[in-house]
Amino acid sequence: MICPRCHNENKYDNLTCDFCMATLPMSDKRKAEIERRHEEERKAKMKKSMDKLIGLLFGVLVIIAIVIWGLFFR
């Protein structure tokens, strides 16, 4: 998001300019863009935690398999 007053680049969802504190214009298009990116970030976060959970589950399964193997196949 380019500030209309000082022409510095701001983060896409800034409400005010980080450099000159001017209020950045909020058009419907920009609002929709912010919404879309927030949604994308949320999905990426969810995917990350799902990957972690699957990794953890797999680890637990391996441990259970080793324990069962030790109990029944001695």
How close are the terminal C-alpha atoms of the chain, in Å? 66
* Minimum distance from residue 24 beta carbon to Zn ion (Å): 8
Whether residue 43 contacts residue 62, with contact meaning beta carbons closer than 8 Å, is answered with: no
* Minimum distance from residue 14 beta carbon to Zn ion (Å): 10
- In the bound state with Zn ion, the residue whose beta carbon lies nearer, of 19 and 58, is 19
Task: Tell me which residues touch Zn ion (CB under 5 A).
Answer: 3, 5-6, 17, 19-20, 22
* Minimum distance from residue 25 beta carbon to Zn ion (Å): 12
Residue 17, classified by CB atoms within 10 Å of its CB into exposed (0-12), middle (13-18) or buried (19+), is buried
Identify the H or E element spanning 34: helix 28-72
- In the bound state with Zn ion, the residue whose beta carbon lies nearer, of 22 and 34, is 22
The structure tokens 């007053």 sit at: 5
- In the bound state with Zn ion, the residue whose beta carbon lies nearer, of 23 and 39, is 23
